[in-house]
Amino acid sequence: MTSDVVENEFEFYSKAEKYWKDVPATVDGMLGGYGHISSIDINSSRKFLQKFLREGPNRTGTTCALDCGAGIGRITKRLLLPLFKTVDMVDVTEDFLTKARSYLGEEGRRVRNYFCCGLQDFSPEPNSYDVIWIQWVIGHLTDNHLSDFLKRCRAGLRPNGIVVIKDNMAQEGVIMDDVDSSVCRDLDVVRKIIRRAGLHLLAEERQENFPDEIYHVYTFAMR
């Protein structure tokens, strides 16, 4: 549990905000120096997501998506805008959202809202999103805040909408990273938090073809 490794909640959040303020507003900055894995990541995410967008009567819609921890809009640009009519972005770092406006180019006109906010304080508008995409950011929330945020995401879904988490998974337990003030949880802990939020797991997949030296990355779809 994060309560075992996060001693001071206020410090946990403020230290992370400070860390990201000093990160370059580039794809490489967003990916901690691993910019070269961006295409592998996006291609896998697209395959994962398209299963829900094209299957049967309970098909997930393509009207609007929300990109959580969006940074400069790497995922918005390459994954979400090609598949959805409109996208909203939320990130705690204002400089990243400012950069996104130029990085996204012409297609950025279909981004409706740029919300500058930490996810612990953010509430998606109820019944608004077909897909809420949460990638490489859950480690910046305590267990309680993550569970509460996922509950708000559940309320933010349109009919047949899904919440997707894609993130690093620890081998065991919860590991603190003092550099960027984040935690990495194991699969069991993440699944428990998902259940606690009242969400039902629809699919789970391990990312392939990432460098051996980084954490295993898993994608979860739920509603």
Instruction: Show binding-site residues for S-adenosyl-L-methionine.
Output: 69, 74, 91-93, 119-120, 135
Residue with tokens 């906010």: 117
State residue 21 phi and psi, 5-degree precision.
-60, -25
- Binding-site sequence positions: 69, 74, 91-93, 119-120, 135
Return the C-alpha torsion angle 109, 111, 116, 118, nearest 10: -160
Alpha-helical regions (H) of 31-142? 38-53, 74-75, 94-103
CB 60 within 8 A of CB 131: yes
Q: Which residues have CB under 8 Å from 52's CB, separation 6+?
A: 59, 60, 131, 162, 202, 221
76 by DSSP, 3-state: which? helix
Return the C-alpha torsion angle 49, 50, 55, 61, nearest 10: 70
